[in-house]
Structure 1
Amino acid sequence: MDRVEQIGDAAIEVLAAEGMRGLTHRAVDRAAGLPLGSTSYYARTRAALLELTIRRITTLDQVEAPIPAGGLAEAVAGYVHDAITAGRTRMLARYEFALESTRRPELRAAYDEGGRHIRRRAAEVLAALGSADPGRHATLVVDWMDGTIFGALAGASEPPSFESLVTSAREVLAGIGLG
């Protein structure tokens, strides 16, 4: 892992734990275990630190998943379950950016590109599996996933079990003719 990735990962941790106000160069240096001033060498301003962080989130999100040979509901449920368990920190950071990007147009483009990538990939998978309207169906499935993740992380609902997520994913997929 290079230094910029290390700083980006630490910034994600800080952002998830302390929110947007807690994301400072010094906090990132401490979280990364780097000498003070290291983060500011790579991201001179707060805007540059925010840009570095959202780019790291976007990069981590762009891991390509193969089209599932079977078990689409299980794959969808697995993504959601991972996001509320092992991937919790990155999702919390992403939600912090979702709100911040409504006030900072310079972050909006990077945040939106990450969302477009996820929807494009979902549309490719759904098209390969026979969706009659992959773009619209991808939006529906991704919005269900995002709402479920947000509810679990924000405490609006009890975090669902993997089995419960599979059942719900099957119902969503059946609604678009893929269940």
Structure 2
Amino acid sequence: MVATTRQRALEAAVELLGAEGIRALTHARVDERAGLPLGSTSNWFRTRRSLIGGVVDWIAEQERADLEPAGMPEIRGVEELIDGLCAMVELQAGPFAARTRARYALFLELAGDPGLGEPLRRQRREFERWTEGIVTAVGIMDPVPATRALMALGDGLLLHRLTVDPGLEMRPAIERTVRALAGS
């Protein structure tokens, strides 16, 4: 499938955000990164605010597609939960690292903007509910605080891997935390 101009612009915007941060996000820089004629991005997103909104929606859409239930393995036990969390964090720090960095940059930039930040927060709440369902299915007591602990751990590990220690081995921390929460 050939990517549309809009898709190319959004993909380039996410890469730009992930590599250079929110201040680098301009229509001209997105056009350049996407290899599009000057003005192409502004045809889809007239203002910087609408471009940011488009990127926020795009990231949320891509992450929802990653978590399609049909494509996910069923997690029934502690070992599968550990493996699943490790795989997810590795994806976010590896092939999806630019998107992860872009999401973090947007979370920080849009913390005080209820309109633009809402799709990211809604996506986060959906992910929390999904994770809570898995934590419950595995039999971990007090699934809400356990889910929050696992998500905070994942965010911390990702941030550390993406900023300080690219070689950080994440499995020991995930394994220790899941086992502690499961009481095993």
TM-score calculated relative to the size of structure 2: 0.86
Kindly provide the CA deviation profile for residues 134-159 of structure 1, in whole angstroms up to 9, marking residues without a partner as x: 2221111111000110111121x453
Instruction: Tell me what 2:125 maps to.
Output: 116
Rounded Cα–Cα distance in structure 2 between residues aligned with 1:159 and 1:149 = 11
Rounded Cα–Cα distance in structure 2 between residues aligned with 1:2 and 1:16 = 21
Do the aligned residues in 1 keep the contact of 2:27 with 2:42 (CA within 8 Å)? yes
Per-residue deviation at 1:71? 2.3
Give runs of ≥4 in structure 1 deviating > 4 Å. none
Kindly provide the CA deviation profile for residues 25-60 of structure 1, in whole angstroms up to 9, marking residues without a partner as x: 111111111111111111111000000001111111
Match of 2:167 among 145, 159, 163: 159
Rounded Cα–Cα distance in structure 2 between residues aligned with 1:24 and 1:178 = 49
Query: Percentage identity across aligned positions?
Result: 27
SS in 2 for 1:102: coil
Q: Does 1:57 align with 2:65?
A: no
Instruction: Tell me what 1:168 maps to.
Output: 173
Rounded Cα–Cα distance in structure 2 between residues aligned with 1:108 and 1:171 = 33
Cα RMSD for the two superposed structures: 1.8
AA partner of residue 172 (structure 2) = T
* Range that drifts further, 64-73 or 27-36: 64-73
Instruction: Tell me what 2:35 maps to.
Output: 33
Instruction: Tell me what 2:81 maps to.
Output: 72
Consecutive unaligned residues of structure 1, counting only runs of 5 or more, are: none
Instruction: Tell me what 1:177 maps to.
Output: 182
Q: How many residue pairs end up in the alignment? A: 175
Do the aligned residues in 1 keep the contact of 2:56 with 2:117 (CA within 8 Å)? no
Rounded Cα–Cα distance in structure 1 between residues aligned with 2:74 and 2:174 = 16
Match of 1:21 among 4, 20, 23: 23
Do the aligned residues in 2 keep the contact of 1:84 with 1:159 (CA within 8 Å)? no
Do the aligned residues in 1 keep the contact of 2:5 with 2:40 (CA within 8 Å)? no
Per-residue deviation at 1:91? 0.9
Instruction: Tell me what 1:101 maps to.
Output: 110
Kindly provide the CA deviation profile for residues 54-88 of structure 1, in whole angstroms up to 9, marking residues without a partner as x: 11111111122343355221111111122222211
Q: Does 1:139 align with 2:148?
A: yes
Consecutive unaligned residues of structure 2, counting only runs of 5 or more, are: none
* Range that drifts further, 82-91 or 101-110: 101-110
TM-score calculated relative to the size of structure 1: 0.89
Per-residue deviation at 1:106? 2.3
SS in 1 for 2:21: helix
Do the aligned residues in 2 keep the contact of 1:153 with 1:159 (CA within 8 Å)? no
